[in-house]
A and B are shown apart, each in its own frame.
Chain A
Amino acid sequence: MKLRNFYLASAMAASALGLAVPAHAADVKQVQVLHWWTSGGEAAALATLKSYLAKEGYAWKDVPIAGGGGAAAMTTLKAMVAAGNPPTASQILGYYALDYAKAGKLNDLNVLATKEHWDKVIPKALQKFTTTNGKWDAIPINIHSVNWLWINKAVMDKIGGTEPKNFDEFIALLDKAKKAGVIPLALGGQPWQEGTMFDSVVMSTGGPAFYKKAFVDLDPTALKSATMKKAFDNLAKLRAYVDPNYAGRDWNLATAMVIKGDALVQVMGDWAKGEFTVAHKVAGKDFLCYRFPGTEGTVIYNTDMFAMFQVPADLRGAQLALADAVMSPAVQSAFNVIKGSVPARMDVPDTAFDMCGKKGIADVKKADAAGTFVGSMTQNYAQPPAIATAYTDVVTKFFHGEIKTSDAAVAELSKAIDAAK
């Protein structure tokens, strides 16, 4: 028997491994970035940041963790921070950034922020998530809005449809598509996708004042109101227009259905446009972008941010370079042209953007001025994760029939939100 050799070999292998690998390479010209942007359009957009940094002489250490809309990535981030070994920066959403900031895990970027006057160029609403006690510790690379329709133009022309201006017209348009034998509504039946769609439905049904009252202030009467019930009823109407295989489908596959003309329309945030762009489709010619019917003039936003973690002093320079790169107008333009979103900086010219991007930029400016620029509930920009997930729970259970009536849904919504507070 060669079991003795087995033991020897294992001992050798273990020690060789232990001795050969140095624990930390003090390469200061390097940024380690954790993200879950692995889908085509997303990865291509992020690559613009990577190449910008490469030109400045900084290496990019990629830490991609796909899946679950960032759930797996958030776990890894938590573990890295708990180990005292955080990445230089991590993609982060909404209230999660505030969690880390409150726990004192983020680095102060005011050196850069004051010099570059970030507070002048970033919308005030976003600064709630990027600053803590007057200190910048996270930076937004874009502004997404979720109240969009993405429509295949060829299908639209075939069925003779026009832009729906309100919810009823939207239903009429979907009926037309159904009659023509196309899947009217492309949806991926995952909790966050249904929640994102419901954000728009609530806005369309109740308007911005109601949305704010219900989701930002969590006003109990608004949450239990007839308007909220009507919003659930409207959501139920949409259920009739999805294909039977929608449950569990990823969002980009639903987008692909619209790209290929299998489906007429997808209700999705503007990251969907990134998929159109990667598929070489042109806005206005191959596809159309309209605001979700009845939400023109409002923007339900979320923003992708990079949280800047406390890193050893020798990585501080690289971290600031990364922050500078993210905030540079050139990157904000190039990144967002591909990603489908609009720049977080309000002073970036819209010349490089297509018609949807131009509309997006104009809409954000208008909404910000009019006070109709509100955070997405599903995406953690209206409430912290505990409440936001309680909300998506109710929406997805209603959409899939676990909660049977809109009355029950309204009651359940207030109860779930109370339990999560």
Chain B
Amino acid sequence: MSAVTPAAIMRAHPTRRSAWRSRIVIYGLLIFFAVLYLMPLVVMVMTSLKPMSEITGGNMFELPHHLTFAPWIKAWGTTCVGLTCAGIKGYFWNSIKMVVPAVFISTMLGSLNGYVLTKWRFAGHRLVFGLMLFACFIPYQSVLIPMAVILGKLGSIGMNMQDLTGYSLGFGNPTVNLVLVHVVYGLGFTTLFFRNYYEAFPTELIKAAQIDGAGFFQIFRRIMLPSSAPIFIVTVIYQFTNIWNDFLFGSTFAAGDNAPMTVALNNVVNTSTGVIEYNVNMAAAIIAAAPTLIVYVVAGRYFVRGLMAGAVKG
């Protein structure tokens, strides 16, 4: 990529004095916003490390006087979610079990769709894409009931299959249901990302491969995939965050033992014995957010790179 950014050029001439001054302003502003951004997280972390007496009596910006990890241990292992007091650890795995296949499948389908919609166009491809894109904008609250009906139908298919063959193939399983729901409502986004990325991909390469006799999947595997890493990263991060953080579908279709993390967190936050245990709540909230936080901190750089590589072009 070009090394000449607007900024680099801007800095080409000015005198040393004014350069210094503008640097100070720039860093000042950036740090100011960084502090603003970090404040809620810092407060959350500090609150989670304080005993309750310090929270109700003290100042939320004060460092803990008596550092304690008890709230974290409680949130993970013993806090009550409804009547069961076994912490949120079980729900953590529920979320993982649901998120991983949902992200994989929706990303996989998105990349294939993007490939077809840019390199194997057919009459009406634009309409098809437009229709798929509009799927991003459906208000989820309005699909809950018809979705429940369809999931119910799938569930009874699963029962019949169970009776016939001994396997349900996952039909009717709440985790599988959630995977299906998230795949369906993620398709619009993943298709958009991949289509925009592949749009810029040189068609000549593919033509050449075709002349060499390569087929649809061969071209996809040998030519498209190897250069798709940036957009895969963007899509995976985006889907992972959205699906992990979903509450509405989780609470509607998988309440109870199969509930994902957000649903359990909501129950913890609303479970209180007269006094809200802010420290446990905050610890639980941080645990619930940990996987996505880690993804952003570790892969944030690739996220911006991936966006640069074409996800945002339109």
Do A and B bind?
A: yes
Interface residues of chain A, those whose CB is within 8 Å of chain B, are: 1, 3-4, 6-7, 9-10, 13-14, 17-19, 21-24, 32, 34-35, 37-41, 43, 46-47, 50, 60-67, 72, 75-76, 78-80, 82-85, 250, 252-253, 255-256, 259, 275, 278-279
A residues within 8 A CB of B162?
22-24
**Provided the pairs A1-B226, A76-B252 are in contact, do residues A46 and B83 lie with their beta carbons within 8 angstroms?**
yes
Residue of B nearest to A253 (CB): B276
**Residues in B277-307 with C-beta less than 8 Å from chain A:** none
A65 touches B263 (CB 8 A): yes
A residues within 8 A CB of B100?
13
Interface residues of chain B, those whose CB is within 8 Å of chain A, are: 80-84, 97, 100-101, 104-105, 107-108, 144-145, 147-149, 151-152, 155-156, 158-159, 161-162, 167-173, 175-176, 179, 221, 225-226, 228-229, 232, 251-253, 255-257, 263, 266-267, 269-276
CB distance from A44 to the nearest CB of B (A): 8
A47 touches B274 (CB 8 A): no
A17 touches B101 (CB 8 A): yes
B residues within 8 A CB of A67?
266, 270
**Provided the pairs A60-B83, A75-B144 are in contact, do residues A83 and B274 lie with their beta carbons within 8 angstroms?**
no
A21 touches B145 (CB 8 A): no
B152 touches A38 (CB 8 A): no
**Provided the pairs A66-B267, A82-B148, A84-B152 are in contact, do residues A256 and B275 lie with their beta carbons within 8 angstroms?**
yes
**Provided the pairs A21-B170, A62-B256 are in contact, do residues A38 and B271 lie with their beta carbons within 8 angstroms?**
yes
A19 touches B170 (CB 8 A): yes
A23 touches B168 (CB 8 A): yes
A65 touches B145 (CB 8 A): no
A279 touches B274 (CB 8 A): yes
A23 touches B256 (CB 8 A): no
B170 touches A39 (CB 8 A): no
A39 touches B271 (CB 8 A): yes
For the complex, give the distance between the alpha carbons of A253 and B281 in Å.
Answer: 15
A64 touches B152 (CB 8 A): no
Instruction: Select B145's contact among A7, A82, A255, beta carbons within 8 Å.
Output: A82
B residues within 8 A CB of A252?
272, 274
B residues within 8 A CB of A278?
273-274
Residue of A nearest to B229 (CB): A1
Instruction: Select A21's contact among B83, B148, B173, beta carbons within 8 Å.
Output: B173
Instruction: Select B83's contact among A6, A22, A50, beta carbons within 8 Å.
Output: A50
Residue of B nearest to A23 (CB): B168
A279 touches B273 (CB 8 A): yes
B271 touches A40 (CB 8 A): yes
Q: List 30 A-B contacts (CB under 8 A).
A: A1-B229, A3-B229, A10-B108, A14-B179, A17-B101, A17-B175, A18-B176, A19-B167, A21-B168, A21-B175, A21-B176, A22-B167, A23-B158, A24-B158, A40-B272, A43-B80, A43-B271, A50-B83, A63-B256, A65-B251, A65-B266, A65-B267, A72-B251, A72-B266, A78-B145, A78-B148, A79-B147, A82-B148, A278-B274, A279-B273
B149 touches A17 (CB 8 A): no
**Provided the pairs A38-B270, A256-B274 are in contact, do residues A79 and B148 lie with their beta carbons within 8 angstroms?**
yes
The count of A-to-B residue pairs whose CB atoms sit within 8 angstroms is 170
B274 touches A40 (CB 8 A): yes
A23 touches B266 (CB 8 A): no
A85 touches B144 (CB 8 A): no
For the complex, give the distance between the alpha carbons of A129 and B83 in Å.
Answer: 26
For the complex, give the distance between the alpha carbons of A278 and B255 in Å.
Answer: 27
B residues within 8 A CB of A23?
155, 158-159, 161-162, 168, 170-173
For the complex, give the distance between the alpha carbons of A331 and B152 in Å.
Answer: 34
For the complex, give the distance between the alpha carbons of A225 and B152 in Å.
Answer: 50
Instruction: Select A10's contact among B82, B104, B155, B221, beta carbons within 8 Å.
Output: B104
Residue of B nearest to A68 (CB): B270
For the complex, give the distance between the alpha carbons of A34 and B168 in Å.
Answer: 25
A75 touches B252 (CB 8 A): yes
CB distance from A195 to the nearest CB of B (A): 20
A84 touches B252 (CB 8 A): no
CB distance from A134 to the nearest CB of B (A): 30
**Provided the pairs A17-B101, A18-B170, A23-B171 are in contact, do residues A7 and B108 lie with their beta carbons within 8 angstroms?**
yes
B residues within 8 A CB of A259?
274
A14 touches B101 (CB 8 A): yes
A residues within 8 A CB of B175?
17, 21
Q: A66-B270, A67-B266 are in contact. List 9 more A-B contacts (CB 8 A).
A: A1-B225, A4-B225, A21-B168, A22-B168, A23-B168, A38-B267, A39-B272, A60-B83, A250-B270
**Provided the pairs A23-B173, A32-B256, A61-B257 are in contact, do residues A10 and B271 lie with their beta carbons within 8 angstroms?**
no
Closest 9 CB pairs of A and B: A64-B82, A10-B104, A83-B152, A40-B273, A18-B170, A23-B168, A66-B270, A63-B256, A79-B148
For the complex, give the distance between the alpha carbons of A41 and B80 in Å.
Answer: 13
CB distance from A50 to the nearest CB of B (A): 6
B256 touches A82 (CB 8 A): no
B residues within 8 A CB of A40?
271-274
For the complex, give the distance between the alpha carbons of A66 and B269 in Å.
Answer: 9
A residues within 8 A CB of B104?
6, 9-10, 13-14
